[in-house]
């Protein structure tokens, strides 16, 4: 878990709320913002402007995070080095391109709770997921099924369907879904574990979204991994909505593999390079099946240009191509900000910021139901709101009034107050607009 290098601790947020808790007033929101030790980080981001000329209320960090102001200078440096050095920038640039991914290894491993050699920044999320499935979905005659959660993100569905097909299985038979209990709106960790215990001898791979994109629920990754391993299954996770949002401890939890994107809570920008984690017991196994490319080959022999792939004994062994510099450069600034503040400190603010949103929604008269768990340990920044009264029109009216959030069929508005750049005043004004 990434710790703050500033003199800001998670316990500093314990005193932000008065003894009687939240209040439904602009004075309360402004007072908390004035005492928030992270409030100045908002100034480090570009906040889009509404047509009125005021900052929008941006609650869409679960889809695309905002741009840190330091990003432009880093990208410009890479353009300048390309201009000045040409191909020699691979070794002569300010940040040499040849080893660019190594600049992010330690910070990325801190963000997901891994050892540095277990993490590599490469490709995009779904490409990385396919690479992981090649290695970790190895079906056998009686153990060939894949367990995912109902309403997993579509890319996860498509990926596991395609790999079941590649191995000659009918996806309708090979894919098992963990579902909510009768009458409930979200899947509990217990639902997943019960499904593993029931079908474990048939399951080759458990693949769960760390945070479900639709409901915003955070699953207990450690317990799911333990249950999967008890039944002899591989445990993998899609952390698209968890990385940069929650404290993760992948190595401690003994997860087999995980993948994540970096353009949501990690603020890397559209198309930013994604990440992959492979447990150290697997990275040392050179016989593990994989799709090979020259950047995953042992660097000691990489430029001998000979056939015969010899993978690096680290997560780098899953790389197929050299780093995409312009897609990776924004992560230099992003990771530096997370290292400066610390994921534990951001999480401490997130708990009370999202809690304030929950409090105001539940005390409003807007006829809205929250389908995200109320337990803070079972969610991150996002609350998903069921809106039965013209939800699409409601989102458009919110946008007209300077609020950016998003809609998911059939009737859910996703709202994600991000601790880096959102404020308690943002939350209060959002509810005021929603009520109107």
Say what the pLDDT of residue 113 is.
98
Lowest mean pLDDT across 225-234, 339-348, 381-390: 381-390
Say what the pLDDT of residue 253 is.
98
For residues 160 and 302, the model is more confident at 160
Judge whether residue 339 has pLDDT over 90: yes
- Give the residues across from 311 on adjacent strands: 297
Give mean pLDDT, residues 334-342.
Answer: 96
Give ∠ CA 394-398-402 in degrees, rounded to 5: 170
Judge whether residue 7 has pLDDT over 90: no
Instruction: Please report which confidence band the pLDDT of residue 355 belongs to, taking 50, 70 and 90 as the band edges.
Output: very high
CA-based Rg of the chain, rounded to a whole angstrom?
A: 22
Q: What residues have CB less than 8 Å from 194, skipping those under 6 apart? A: none
| Residue 184: count of CB within 10 angstroms of its CB | 11
Q: CATH fold of 10-59+342-435, please?
A: 3.90.1150
Say what the pLDDT of residue 163 is.
98
Q: Classify residue 180 by its DSSP letter.
A: P
Query: Dihedral of CA 151/152/155/157: which sign?
Result: negative
Nearest CA among 273, 370, 269 for reference residue 61:
269
> Kind and range of the H or E element at 376?
none
Give mean pLDDT, residues 151-155.
Answer: 93
Percent of the chain surpassing pLDDT 90: 88
Pairwise CA distance, residues 59 & 418, whole Å: 7
Judge whether residue 5 has pLDDT over 70: no
Lowest mean pLDDT across 5-14, 61-70, 225-234, 262-271: 5-14
Judge whether residue 269 has pLDDT over 70: yes
Pairwise CA distance, residues 104 & 99, whole Å: 10
Pairwise CA distance, residues 145 & 160, whole Å: 10
Instruction: Please report which confidence band the pLDDT of residue 6 belongs to, taking 50, 70 and 90 as the band edges.
Output: low
Pairwise CA distance, residues 42 & 54, whole Å: 15
Give ∠ CA 129-175-316 in degrees, rounded to 5: 15
Say what the pLDDT of residue 423 is.
98
Say what the pLDDT of residue 15 is.
81
> Could you please report the per-residue DSSP string of 109-137?
HHHHT--GGGEEE-S-HHHHHHHHHHHH-
Looking at 36-153, list the stretches that DSSP marks H as alpha helix, in order from N- to C-terminal side: 71-85, 89-92, 105-112, 125-136
Torsions phi, psi for 258 (to 5 deg): -155, 155
Residue 383 corresponds to which tokens in the numbers above? 């609350």
Say what the pLDDT of residue 354 is.
97
Instruction: Please report which confidence band the pLDDT of residue 4 belongs to, taking 50, 70 and 90 as the band edges.
Output: low
ω into 243 cis (within 30 of 0): no
CATH of 76-338, one of 3.20.10.10, 3.40.50.300, 3.40.640.10, 3.90.550.10: 3.40.640.10
Give mean pLDDT, residues 229-239.
Answer: 98
- List pLDDT tens digits, range 43-58: 999 999 999 999 999 9
Give residue 402's region: left, alpha or beta (phi > 0; psi -120 to 50).
left
Say what the pLDDT of residue 3 is.
55
Place of tokens 């309360």: 28
| Residue 392: count of CB within 10 angstroms of its CB | 13
Do 112 and 239 contact (CB within 8 A), yes or no? yes
- List pLDDT tens digits, range 112-121: 999 999 999 9
Distance from chain centroid for Cα 302:
32
CATH code 3.40.640.10 region(s) in the chain: 76-338
Judge whether residue 186 has pLDDT over 90: no
CATH code 3.90.1150.10 region(s) in the chain: 10-59+342-435
Place of tokens 């994540």: 260
Say what the pLDDT of residue 1 is.
44
Residue 349: CA count within 13 A, CB half-sphere = 24
């Amino acid at each position: 878990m990434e710790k703050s290098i500033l003199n800001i601790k998670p316990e500093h947020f314990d005193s932000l709320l008065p003894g009687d808790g939240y209040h439904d007033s602009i004075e309360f929101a402004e007072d908390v913002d004035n005492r928030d030790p992270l409030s100045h980080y908002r100034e480090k981001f570009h906040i889009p402007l509404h047509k009125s000329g005021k900052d929008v209320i941006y609650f869409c960090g679960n889809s695309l995070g905002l741009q840190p102001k330091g990003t432009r200078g880093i990208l410009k440096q890479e353009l300048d080095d390309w201009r000045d050095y040409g191909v020699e920038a691979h070794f002569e640039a300010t940040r040499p391109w040849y080893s660019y991914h190594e600049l992010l290894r330690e910070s990325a491993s801190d963000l997901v709770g891994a050892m540095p050699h277990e993490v590599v920044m490469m490709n995009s999320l779904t490409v990385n997921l396919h690479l992981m499935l090649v290695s970790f979905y190895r079906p056998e005659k009686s153990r060939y099924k894949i367990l995912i959660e109902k309403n997993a993100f579509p890319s996860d569905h498509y990926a596991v369907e395609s790999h079941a097909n590649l191995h000659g299985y009918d996806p309708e038979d090979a894919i098992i879904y963990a579902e909510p209990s009768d009458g409930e709106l979200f899947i509990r960790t217990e639902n997943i574990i019960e499904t593993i215990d029931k079908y474990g001898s048939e399951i080759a791979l458990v693949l769960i979204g760390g945070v479900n994109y639709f409901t915003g629920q955070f699953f207990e990754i450690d317990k799911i991994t333990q249950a999967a391993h008890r039944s002899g299954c591989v445990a993998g996770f899609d952390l698209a909505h968890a990385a940069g949002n929650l404290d993760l401890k992948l190595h401690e939890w003994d997860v087999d593999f995980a993948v994540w994107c970096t353009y949501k809570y990690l603020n890397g920008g559209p198309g930013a390079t994604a990440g992959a984690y492979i447990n150290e017991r697997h990275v040392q196994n050179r016989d593990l099946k994989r799709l090979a490319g020259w950047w995953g080959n042992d660097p000691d022999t990489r430029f001998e240009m000979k056939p015969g792939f010899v993978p690096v004994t680290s997560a780098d062994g899953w790389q197929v191509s050299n780093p995409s510099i312009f897609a990776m450069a924004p992560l230099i600034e992003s990771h530096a900000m997370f290292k400066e503040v610390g994921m534990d400190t951001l999480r401490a603010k997130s708990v009370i910021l999202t809690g304030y949103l929950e409090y105001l929604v539940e005390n409003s008269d807007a006829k809205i139901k929250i389908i995200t768990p109320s337990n803070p340990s079972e969610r991150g920044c996002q609350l998903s709101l069921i809106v039965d009264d013209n939800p699409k029109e409601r989102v458009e009216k919110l946008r007209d009034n300077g609020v950016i959030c998003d809609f998911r069929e059939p009737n859910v508005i996703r709202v994600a107050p991000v601790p880096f750049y959102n404020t308690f005043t943002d939350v209060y004004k959002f509810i005021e607009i929603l009520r109107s």
